[in-house]
Amino acid sequence: MNSIKLLVLSLALGFLTLNASCQGKLSPVSTSSGSNKKDIRTAKADVKLDQIKLPAGFKISVWAADVTNARSMAISENGIVFVGNRQEKNVYALVDENADGKADYKFILAEGLRMPNGVAYKNGDLYVAEVNRILRFKDIKNNLTTPKYEVVYDGYPTDGHHGWKFIAFGPDGMLYVPVGAPCNICEKENPIYASITRLDVSKPGAKPEVYAHGVRNTVGFAWHPQSKELWFTDNGRDMMGDDVPDCELNRATAKGQHFGYPYWHAGTVKDPEFGSKGKEASAYVAPAAKMGAHTAPLGMRFYQGGMFPANFKNNAIIAKHGSWNRSKKSGYEVVLAKIDASGKVTGQEVFASGWLNPATQDVWGRPVDVQELPDGSLLISDDMANCIYRVTYSK
């Protein structure tokens, strides 16, 4: 009997060890001292975490405070988190030196930039998107205290309206860079407007090519882990009422597709000003999912970690920043979009909410982007509460 118990115990311990190894873990990160390094271990965020609603087993905490206007995020292979912002002019690197699940130090990598919202990391280099420029910080993880950048490309439009950018590297090694419509609703001759472009940053002098047309303003995209297809959020136009049109989650299956703007919105809503200038709705790619009017879906990632339940795997976690001019506010939450093997969105579930009080209409935070840590936990940036949260799961 004792031998049987020992066998069962051994198998159980082996399973737990395997399960833990599949989840990954946080690792210590050693950094040097410098004038741009700030201790944020005792920094506090003005948040109300007790109001955040999560599914059973999930917990939320402040991973980093004192990160002004925290927007898009990127992460290095050793867990350094890079953060851009839109309303300020800085780019940050955040480091959890002791791997305790909370950021210890903040490095200011650049100051005085113009809406440096987008950040992307590849082969040791950090890329930052301003309104009209792409910057590169070479070997950034070894130069956090002495950051220097070079201009990779400076030919994007200078329009401030929807000029802030989300950037990411695709499976083809190209840097994908959106160019929002410089207006609420308009039609521009230059095809680079209302598009997603891609740029070969490995070739000096390379110029962007348009990958997707008819995209009003995407501030978040990712590639499906299995199909490698590009999925992106898109913010719908304003001034057509509280409930029209829906914001969108889109799926691009090939280069050159047109997603409707400014002629059609959410697949079926004909624009009152420009709809007659376009083609029939069937000529454009309809959204993979509608995400509610004015909810402002921004950052998204396909979950790949081992910490969360199995139903999260290969599905999209999307941050809805929230409405700015709707009579009754909408958004201000993080959702899970479930996608089947054929690429069809089968449903959407609220994953995290509570930044908005529907009864009083009070708002204390606005989720912007999501990023997965090496252990499978999830970071959520908040440009209103000036912090980054960490969501963990335990059975």
Cα–Cα distance, 139 to 168 (Å, whole number): 18
DSSP 3-state percent helix, strand, coil across the chain (nearest 5): 10, 35, 55
369, two tokens = 């982007």
- Whether residue 1 has pLDDT greater than 90: no
Of the pLDDT bands very low, low, confident and very high (cuts 50, 70, 90), residue 366 is very high
Contacts of 171 (CB under 8 A, 6+ apart): 223, 228
- Whether residue 16 has pLDDT greater than 50: no
pLDDT in tens, 258-306: 999 999 999 999 999 999 999 999 999 999 999 999 999 999 999 999 9
Among the listed residues 50, 80, 74, the one whose alpha carbon sits nearest the alpha carbon of residue 62: 50
Q: Which pLDDT score is estimated for 143?
A: 98
Residue range 348-370: mean pLDDT, rounded: 98
120-128 LR contacts (CB < 8 Å, sep 24+): 120/74, 120/167, 120/168, 120/169, 120/175, 121/74, 121/75, 121/76, 121/82, 122/169, 122/173, 122/175, 124/76, 126/74, 126/82, 126/93, 127/152, 127/167, 127/175, 127/201, 128/84, 128/91
Q: Which pLDDT score is estimated for 8?
A: 39
Of residues 124 and 14, which shows the higher confidence score? 124
SS3 label, residue 305? coil
CA torsion through residues 205, 88, 90, 382, sign: negative
Cα–Cα distance, 98 to 100 (Å, whole number): 6
Its pTM stands at: 0.94
Q: Are the C-beta atoms of residues 247 and 291 closer than 8 Å to each other?
A: yes
Residue range 12-18: mean pLDDT, rounded: 39
Q: Which pLDDT score is estimated for 23?
A: 61
Residues in the chain, total? 395
Residue range 341-366: mean pLDDT, rounded: 97
Cα–Cα distance, 37 to 203 (Å, whole number): 33
b/e code 179-201 from CB counts within 10 Å (16+ = b): bbbbbebebbeeebbbbbbbbbb
- H or E segment to which residue 223 belongs: strand 221-223
pLDDT in tens, 222-244: 999 999 999 999 999 999 999 99
Of residues 14 and 261, which shows the higher confidence score? 261
pLDDT in tens, 317-350: 999 999 999 999 999 999 999 999 999 999 999 9
pLDDT in tens, 138-185: 999 999 999 999 999 999 999 999 999 999 999 999 999 999 999 999
Alpha helices in the chain (DSSP H): 2-23
Average pLDDT value for the chain:
94
- Secondary structure letter of residue 61 according to DSSP: E
Of the pLDDT bands very low, low, confident and very high (cuts 50, 70, 90), residue 4 is very low
Residue range 118-140: mean pLDDT, rounded: 98
- Whether residue 58 has pLDDT greater than 60: yes
CA angle in degrees (0–180, nearest 5) for 51-166-115: 90
CA–centroid distance for 301 within its chain:
6
Of the pLDDT bands very low, low, confident and very high (cuts 50, 70, 90), residue 221 is very high
Of the pLDDT bands very low, low, confident and very high (cuts 50, 70, 90), residue 24 is confident
Of the pLDDT bands very low, low, confident and very high (cuts 50, 70, 90), residue 12 is very low
Q: Are the C-beta atoms of residues 211 and 198 closer than 8 Å to each other?
A: yes
Q: Which pLDDT score is estimated for 309?
A: 98
Of the pLDDT bands very low, low, confident and very high (cuts 50, 70, 90), residue 7 is very low
Q: What is the DSSP string of 162-189?
A: T-----EE-TTSPEEEEE--SSSS---S
SS3 label, residue 138? coil
